[in-house]
Amino acid sequence: MAFGSDRNVVSSNTQVQAEFDAGLRAHVLRVYNYMASGLALTGIVCYFTIHSPALLESVFGLRWIFFAATLGMAFLVFPRIHRMSVTAAQAAFWVFATIIGLWIAPIVAQYTGTSVARVFFITASMFGGMSLYGYTTKKDLSGWGSFLIMGFVGIFIGFLVNSFFIQSTALHFAMSVIGVLVFTGLTAWDTQRIKNEYAEHFGSDTLAKMAILGALGLYMNFINMFLMLLMLFGNRD
């Protein structure tokens, strides 16, 4: 009898593990689908903005307003995402991706189409490799978080100070190099964090919104890595 009971327990545990693994794969796939669709929307908006001279000129004049809008959504809207419906959270993500497409258009327009395409594929390769590492590694990457976030804050402040006051080409280059390293590390850290959060909330109704937040983090890592690599390796018109 005891043997039969133990076998039932093992069978039950195996079934739960199978459900967990299938759910994790579905959750991660949902995250990457959101991220990919966000990047696609950003790319489409950016492309049509660049190829519409009147719109590009208007966006260039309002670029700091668009920048402020992205900050407002990042710090005021998305931290409250758990209070939103899934539909509202999705809408906020699409609006954010649209604003980013408008904001980066004047930056991307300075470079040749060939170099933009080349840098995009370099970014995709680096992102894919680090995300795969974050998903498969057994090493705990949680210790990276505080260091990388401090690096992100430092780069953000540095770019603002350099843009408005110092305007140093050498400092801009150095921060771009550091930025690539920071966002490459954040890609692996965010990927592992998404897995860990799924484990913590397995079976919870909040997973749909967490998928959007996870996609947002990866999306921002990709966009920032792309922009900094473009500044380093892009060829200007």
Per-residue model confidence as pLDDT tens for the chain (237 residues): 554 555 555 556 677 778 888 889 999 999 999 999 999 999 999 999 999 999 999 999 999 999 999 999 988 899 898 899 999 999 999 999 999 999 999 999 999 999 999 999 999 999 999 999 999 999 999 889 889 999 999 998 998 898 888 889 898 899 999 999 999 999 999 999 999 999 888 767 789 999 999 999 999 999 999 999 999 999 997
Is residue 173 situated within a structural domain? yes
Q: What is the predicted pLDDT for the residue at 12?
A: 60
Judge whether 10 lies within some domain.
no
Q: Among 232, 112, 138, which Cα is nearest to 184's?
A: 232
Crossing angle between the packed helical segments 207-233 and 169-200, to the nearest 10 degrees: 160
Instruction: State how many domains the chain has.
Output: 1
- Give CA torsion, residues 211, 212, 218, 222, to 10 deg: 140
Evaluate whether 45 touches 224 at the Cβ level (below 8 Å).
no
- In-domain check, residue 13: no
Residues spanned by the domain of 166: 19-233
In a domain, 196, yes or no: yes
Q: Do the domain assignments include residue 216?
A: yes
Measured CA to CA, the distance from residue 87 to residue 12 in angstroms comes to 35
In a domain, 8, yes or no: no
Quote the CA–CA distance of 179 and 226 in Å, as a whole number. Answer: 10
**Domain-embedded: residue 133:** yes
pLDDT at 112: 95
CA distance 192 to 148: 14
In a domain, 85, yes or no: yes
